[in-house]
Structure 1
Amino acid sequence: KYGGIAPGEIMRRPVIVIDEANVMMGWNKNYPEDMGTLLRFFVSITKEQKRSHVFLVTSEFGYQTWLSAAIASEFWAPRIIGDFTKSEAKSFFEFELERRRKVVTVTDEIWSQIYEVCGGNAGTLVNLAAEVEDSGDDLNSKWERALKSMYQNTELPRLKKLALGVDGVYTAAQFADATLLMLSSQHFAVPQDAMLELLGRHDYALDIQGDNTPSQDQLMSAGQKGFEGLVKNNVLCLRPYSDWAQDIPLQAYSGPEDELAMVTPSSALALYCLKLMKPKLDRYLTEWKQKQASKAWYNKLKDLLAGLAGFATMRGTMLSMRSGQGQKEVRKEGFWRKPGVVGVVELLSCFDLLREVSDDIMKLGR
C-alpha cells in the first residue's frame, strides 16, 4: 500500500552468492569495463531496485580494499564471519574425521597442539583431517607429521619470502615491526590507527632520530601504502567489528558502536608461522634500528662539519680585515650577511651539535 516491504518479504528475494570473489580482482586487470558493468549491476539490483541480495564471499582480506575502490561504501558492508571458537572447532574437526570414517581419538593434549597451529579455521581443519590416518599406536607421531604438513612447505616459506619486503610497497623492517607488534598485543589484534602510525614512522625514521617527529596524521598517511601492501599480500588483515564473528573477543574492540577496525594476522596458520619466525624478526628489527641511529649520528656529524667550514670562512675574513684590506669591507652594506660572519652563529650551534654527538657516542658505547 505504501510502497514498503512487508515483514518477511525481504527473505523471499533471490540471493546471489559468489564464492572465491577475490578472483574478480584478476578479471579487473583484463576486463575492466566488463567488471565495472557487473559491479554496477550488483548495485542496481540490491541498493537501488531492491530486487535481490548479493553476497561476495572470500577469505582474502585484501578484497575489502579492492572493493572499496570499486564501489562506494554506502552500497555495501563487510561482514566478517571469522573462525570457530576452540570448542566449536573441536566438534567440527571430530565431525570431519567421522565423515571420513577415520577412527581417531582426539585427546585434550592433542587438540591443544592442533588448535595452536590451525586455530578454528575450517579450511585448515578439513585439510588436516585429510592428512590423518587411523594409525593405532603410532598416533602421536602421525599427528606431529600431519600438523607440520599444514605449514612447513606452504605458509611458512610464503611468509619468509614476504618478510624480505616488496620493492616499492613495504620494507623488511616494516614487515618485522608490524608482525612483532601484533605478536606482543592482547588477542594478537592492534587498532588500525596504531598500525598505520607504526608503519609511517619508518618513512620518517631519520627525522624522528633527529628529534623532528612528524604529526600523527603525517605518520598515518605515510603508513597507508605499506599497510595496504601487507594486507594485499595476506600478511595482515583488517577486521571491522562484526557481530557474526566470535573468534576475537569484544574486549579487543573499543565497542561495537565505535566499529573500530582491528589489524590481525591473516589466519591462525599465519599467526603460528609468525611465532616461529619471531626470533629472526626481533634480531632484524634491532639491527635496523641500530643502523638508523648510526645514520642519524652521521647526519649530525655532517651538520657539525658544515658549521666548522663556516667558521673557517669567518676566520679567513677576520684575518683579511686585520691586514687592513678588509676594513673597508666592514663599512659596506651587507657585510653582516657574508658567509664568514654567519659562521659565528653557526659556530655557536656547533657546540650544541658537539654535545649531542658526544651523547650519542656514549650511548652507542654502552
Structure 2
Amino acid sequence: MTAPLDLLAGRVLLHAGDCLDVMARLPANSIDACVTDGPYFLPEMEKRFGSANSARASGDRFFAEGAMSKFHGKAAIVGDICNRVETWAAVERVLKPGGYLLAFNAVVPFAHMQIAAEKAGFETRNVLQWLYGTGFPRGKPLGKFIDRQVFGDGLDDDEIERGPVSHSAAFYDEQDIALKPAAEFILMARKPLDGTIGENLIKWGVGALNVNACRIEHATGSSYPANVLHDGSAEVMAAFPADAGGKSVARFFWHPKADARDRAGSDHPTVKPIALMQWLVRLVTSPGQTVLDPFAGSGSTGEAAWREGRNAVLIEIDAQFQADIAQRMALCLAGPEERQRKIIKAKAAEPFAAGSLFAGL
C-alpha cells in the first residue's frame, strides 16, 4: 500500500489509485462529507469515441486515438463507476452517520447515479441545479439529413441546387434533436442518522446544513440559500425575470465569480469554479472537518476545503491528474502574480488541451 501524498502540511492527503481500493482501506465512519464531480458516462461520448477507428482531429476539442476508453486519453473519464451501487456503498461506509454527499452529474445519467446512491443506503435530501452559460447543442437541422438518408443520390442537380425540397425537408428543417446544455445537477444525499438529528450532531458533529454561512449576500440584504446556483454569466442572468423594482431576481441565487485560477494549469476537462466548490464544502461541513473526493480530478475540492479551513482526502487514479493536484496545492500558497507565472510556465510546452467537457456539445 502506497502512503498518501501529504500536501499543505497535512491538510490535504492525496491517495493514488482506484477509489474503491483506497476507500476500502479507510476507517468506517471517519469522514464528515463527500463532495465530488465524478465521471458522467455521457451517451454522446460513447457515440463519438466508441468506434475502433475514431480518429484524432487536431482542431477538435475532443479527440480520441482508438476506442472510447481513450477519450482525453483517460478511461476513467467515460467509465460508468458513478452508476454503480458499490461505488456509493464504499462512500457511505467511510462517512459518519449524517454525513452529506454532494455529487455532480449531467442531466441524462443523473437518475442512474441517484438510484445507485439510494440503493447504497443514502437518503436523497435535495437536488441542486448548477446553471451555466456555456455549451451548444451538437444536433443539426433534420431536413437535409433526412433527405440524404431517404433519397441519397436520388436528388437531381436542380433539386440539389435549390436546396431541400422534399416533404421531409420542409417539415423537419426547423427541428433538431438536442437542447442547449445549460445545467448540471448536484445530488444532495445524506447517510442515515444515528438517532435523532440532535443526538447525531452531538455524537458525530454532522447532519445539518450551514445555511447561515451560505446565505446569498446582495445589495438589499441576504437571502436563505436555495437549491439553484448559477455562474453569473450575462446569458444566465438574462434568463431570470426582473422584480417590481426592475432588478434581476438572479441576485437571490448564489453564484461564484469564476476566474482563470480555477483551472490552475490542469488539463482536466471538467474543472469547476473554486468559489462554487468552496460554497458546497462550507454548506455541508464545519471548520476543521474532513471532506472526501474519490474522483479528485484537478483537485478543486481539495483547494476549496483548504481555503474553507477544512481538511481533504483526495483519491485520483490518473498519474497526470495526480501531478495537476500537487501543482494546484503548491499554487495555493503562491501570490496571484506568482501563481499566474507558474501556470503559464507549466503550460507553455504542453500539447493541445481538451478543454471543457461541454464545449461544442
Same fold (TM over 0.5): no
Higher helix share: 1
Larger Rg over CA atoms = 1
Task: With the length of structure 2 as denominator, give the TM-score of the two structures.
Answer: 0.19
Q: Which has the higher contact order (CA 8 A, sep 6+)?
A: 2
Task: With the length of structure 1 as denominator, give the TM-score of the two structures.
Answer: 0.19
Higher strand share: 2
